[in-house]
Amino acid sequence: MRLAVAGHVEWVDFARVPRLPAAGEIVAAAEAWAAPAGGGAMAAYALKSLTDSATFFCGVGEGALAARTVDGLRERGLDVRAGVRAGRAQSRTLTHLDADGERTITVLAPPLVPHGEDALGWAALADCDGAFFLAGDAAAARACRAAAVLVSSGRARAALLEAGVAVDALVGSAEDLAETVDNALLAATAPRWVVTTEGERGGAWAGADGTSGRWAAAPLPGVPVDAFGCGDAFAAALTAGLADGRAIGDACALAARVGAAVRCERAPSVGDLARWW
Decide if 277 is inside a domain. no
Percent of the chain with pLDDT over 70: 100
Give a yes or no: residue 183 inside a domain: yes
Report pLDDT digits (tens) over 236-269.
Answer: 999 999 999 999 999 999 999 999 999 999 999 9
Average pLDDT over residues 99-122: 94
Instruction: Assess if residue 275 is contained within a domain.
Output: no
Determine how many CB atoms are found less than 10 A away from the CB of residue 25. 8
Mean per-residue pLDDT over the chain, rounded:
96
Domain tally for the chain?
1
Whole-model pTM?
0.96
**177, pLDDT greater than 80:** no
Asked which of 22-26, 67-71, 88-92, 233-237 is least confident by mean pLDDT, the reply is 22-26
Q: Write down the pLDDT at residue 179.
A: 83
In a domain, 276, yes or no: no
What is the pLDDT confidence band of residue 116, given thresholds at 50, 70 and 90?
very high
| Span 189-208, pLDDT tens digits | 999 999 999 988 999 999 99
Q: Show the domain range for 100.
A: 3-270
Lowest mean pLDDT among 55-64, 122-131, 177-186: 177-186
User: Does the residue 209 lie in any domain?
Assistant: yes
Residue 176's pLDDT band, with cuts at 50, 70 and 90, is confident
Mean per-residue pLDDT, 34-49: 98
Q: What percent of the chain has pLDDT over 90?
A: 93
**What's the confidence (pLDDT) of residue 170?**
98
CATH number at residue 133: 3.40.1190.20
- pLDDT tens column, 59-86: 999 999 999 999 999 999 999 999 999 9
Q: What is the pLDDT of residue 202?
A: 96
- For the chain, the three-class secondary structure string (H helix, E strand, C coil) is CCEEEECCCEEEEEEECCCCCCCCCCCCCCEEEEEEECHHHHHHHHHHHHHCCCEEEEEECCCHHHHHHHHHHHHCCCEEEEEECCCCCCCEEEEEECCCCCEEEEEEECCCCCCCCCCCCHHHHHHCCEEEECCCCHHHHHHHCCCCCEEEEHHHHHHHHHHCCCCCEEEEECCCHHHCCCHHHHHHHCCCEEEEECHHHCEEEEECCCCEEEECCCCCCCCCCCCCCHHHHHHHHHHHHHHCCCCHHHHHHHHHHHHHHHCCCCCCCCCCCHHHC
Counted residue by residue, the chain has a size of: 277
Confidence of residue 58 (pLDDT cuts 50, 70, 90): very high
| Residue 68 belongs to a domain | yes
| pLDDT reported for residue 175 | 81
The rounded distance, in Å, linking the Cα atoms of 227 and 262 is 8
Distance CA 164, CA 271 (A): 36
Looking at residue 258, what is its pLDDT? 98
